[in-house]
């Protein structure tokens, strides 16, 4: 459905370090980086991609109210590892790992804020 999504950052090197740690448990790695941006995917050829970078208009990056990105996790353990890595890398808790039966019987997710205040999530739909 998507080619890519991007979140803005005011400190791309710090964001790159954060996302490299946080997305590793989900099987994602930095596949492209340059002045003011970094991209993550399962492999150099894989799509879609997640980008973090300086906003195109060069104004300060801001987190959108009501906006968040949910990364698909291969297991519940990966959701737990994502959450722990995010907190260890300076992220803020927005909802610890656990079932969310209001979404589905098998929904298991965790929510955090990145270093710029963007809300991100890891979610697994597999049974316990």
Under 8 Å between Cβ of 115 and 91: yes
What does the block give as tokens for 28? 């994602």
CB atoms closer than 10 angstroms to residue 22:
26
**Exposed, middle or buried by CB within 10 Å (0-12, 13-18, 19+), for 10?**
middle
What does the block give as tokens for 96? 């610890």
Distance of CA 107 to the CA centre of its chain: 17
- How is the chain split into domains, by residue range? 4-54+69-124
**CATH fold of 4-54+69-124:** 2,3-Dihydroxybiphenyl 1,2-Dioxygenase; domain 1 (3.10.180)
- Tens-binned pLDDT, residue by residue, of the chain (128 aa): 899 999 999 999 999 999 999 999 999 999 999 999 999 999 999 999 999 999 999 999 999 899 999 999 999 999 999 999 999 999 999 999 999 999 999 999 999 999 999 999 999 999 88
pTM, rounded to two decimals: 0.95
């Amino acid at each position: 459905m998507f080619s890519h999504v991007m979140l803005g950052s005011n400190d791309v090197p710090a964001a790159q370090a954060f996302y490299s740690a946080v997305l590793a448990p989900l099987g994602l790695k930095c596949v492209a980086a340059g002045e003011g941006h970094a991209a993550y995917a399962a492999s150099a050829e894989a799509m879609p991609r997640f980008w973090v970078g300086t906003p195109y208009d060069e104004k300060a990056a801001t987190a959108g109210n009501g906006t968040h990105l949910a990364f698909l996790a291969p297991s519940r353990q990966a959701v737990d590892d994502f959450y722990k890595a995010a907190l260890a890398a300076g992220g803020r808790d927005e909802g610890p790992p656990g079932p969310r039966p209001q979404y589905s019987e098998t929904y298991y997710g965790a929510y955090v804020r990145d270093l710029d205040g963007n809300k991100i999530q890891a979610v697994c739909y597999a049974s316990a």
